[in-house]
């Protein structure tokens, strides 16, 4: 079963990309800053930046209210893809969100 839940803070602004085949469909892309569950050598928590994508049928009013630094929960699945860069294959992971829930926002 491919399911993931992440709690984190929106990092920066989002981008909306329209589907080439269906102009009605749109994809929202943004970064989610997620704190690691352990401290580094300096005694601080590091963060991971996770690529999140949400299709239009899941965002409703999300594009109006998604703000930088908003705390959210993302439920979705991991999707991997391969990019052929010169001689090496590079693998990337991203989260395709099914549901986004706000914990709070700054404004």
Write out pLDDT tens, residues 41-54.
999 999 999 999 99
The predicted-structure confidence for 93-105, as pLDDT tens digits, reads as follows 999 999 888 887 5
Beta strands in the chain, from DSSP E residues, in sequence order = 4-18, 26-39, 45-55, 71-85, 88-104
Write the pLDDT tens digit of every residue in 53-85: 998 655 555 656 678 888 999 999 999 988 877
Instruction: Map out the domains of the chain with their CATH numbers.
Output: 4-104 (2.40.50.140)
- pTM score: 0.81
CB 71, CB 7: distance < 8 Å: yes
Which of 41, 53, 65, 49 is closest to 16 using CA atoms?
A: 53
């Amino acid at each position: 079963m491919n399911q993931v839940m992440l709690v984190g803070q929106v990092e920066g602004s989002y981008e909306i990309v329209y589907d080439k085949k269906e102009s009605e469909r749109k994809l929202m892309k943004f970064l989610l800053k997620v704190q690691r569950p352990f401290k580094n050598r300096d005694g601080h928590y590091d963060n991971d930046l996770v690529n999140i994508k949400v299709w239009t049928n899941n965002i409703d009013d999300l594009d109006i209210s998604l703000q930088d630094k908003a705390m959210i929960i993302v439920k979705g699945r991991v999707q991997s893809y391969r990019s052929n860069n010169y001689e090496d294959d590079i693998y990337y992971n991203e989260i395709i969100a099914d549901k986004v829930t706000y914990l709070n926002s700054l404004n």
